[in-house]
Amino acid sequence: MDSIAKSYKSPAKINLFLHVLNKRADGYHNLQTWFQFVGLADELEFRQNNYGVVNISSDIEIGSLEDNLIYKAIRAFEKQYQLTNVGIDVTIRKNIPMGAGLGGGSSNAAVALMAMRDFYKPELKNEDMLELGKSLGADVPIFLYGKSAWAEGIGEKLTTKLYKEQYALLVKPNIHISTAEFFTSPVLEKHTTLISKDSSLNMATMINDFEAVFFARYPEFSEELSQIGLDFRMTGTGSCFFALSEDRALLEKVARKMDNSLDKWVVKTLNYAC
């Protein structure tokens, strides 16, 4: 098979806020959050092959094939639409840090579904794949949705809600707490009051409930951020933090002054996925 390669940008997201409302009967938690995209993206290339196998190569170590969300997305699409002999070669250029709360793996899975659609079922629209995306992970649907959105449920009930586009300073310490640890921490408040999607919110009032867990474990990082003079928030379950400003030069100046051991990016915030 002489296949044309299809290339895609796989964007990152931030959670402008993230509240944990309660635990559900199925073991998941009801959440409220507000997603916005940022101008940091992985680059993925897909090409059909004759061998009926899925191959994934990357410029970083990505672990076992069967645990990879791109692989799971391809196989889920294959099963959902009763395809046979699916062979895909995937090449990833990774720019979104892993384990940062920026949604890189979920974004890659959503893009894999789009690529499969483009190869095999071009009549489908992104919204037709939202349930399939949800089966792969709670953050996958927002990348199929493609617009800044208010989210409820486990994060899959989406309503378009745009936020001011500006710039974000992303800061990632070399720290990782697993999502399971976050949810089982006695520090986590799991009964945040439900708020309306029409609420008037700004960075002073938007809180990530998981920050308390992170800062209880790493108070020195809280102190370091507080000395910078910007209002930082954690995205997802971390460990990446962001501060927003319309002044890109200011954020770049702050980034240069911060500890060199921290990974840092200054990027545009976006209401529509790249």
Average pLDDT over residues 203-222: 94
pLDDT at 208 over 70: yes
Rounded to two decimals, the pTM is 0.95
Number of H-type helices and E-type strands within the chain:
8, 10
Mean pLDDT of the chain: 95
**Residue in this structure with the two tokens 């309503």, named with its chain if needed:** 159
Using pLDDT thresholds of 50, 70 and 90, give the confidence band for residue 2.
low
Identify the pLDDT of residue 219: 95
Q: Distance between terminal CA atoms of the chain?
A: 30
> Does residue 1 have a pLDDT over 70?
no
**Cα dihedral value 139, 144, 146, 148, nearest 10:** -30
pLDDT per residue over 247-268, tens digit each? 999 999 999 999 888 999 999 9
Residues that are catalytic = 13, 139
Q: What are 67-117's pLDDT values in tens digits?
A: 999 999 999 999 999 999 999 999 999 999 998 999 999 999 999 999 999
Q: Is 171 exposed, middle or buried (0-12, 13-18, 19+ CB in 10 A)?
A: buried
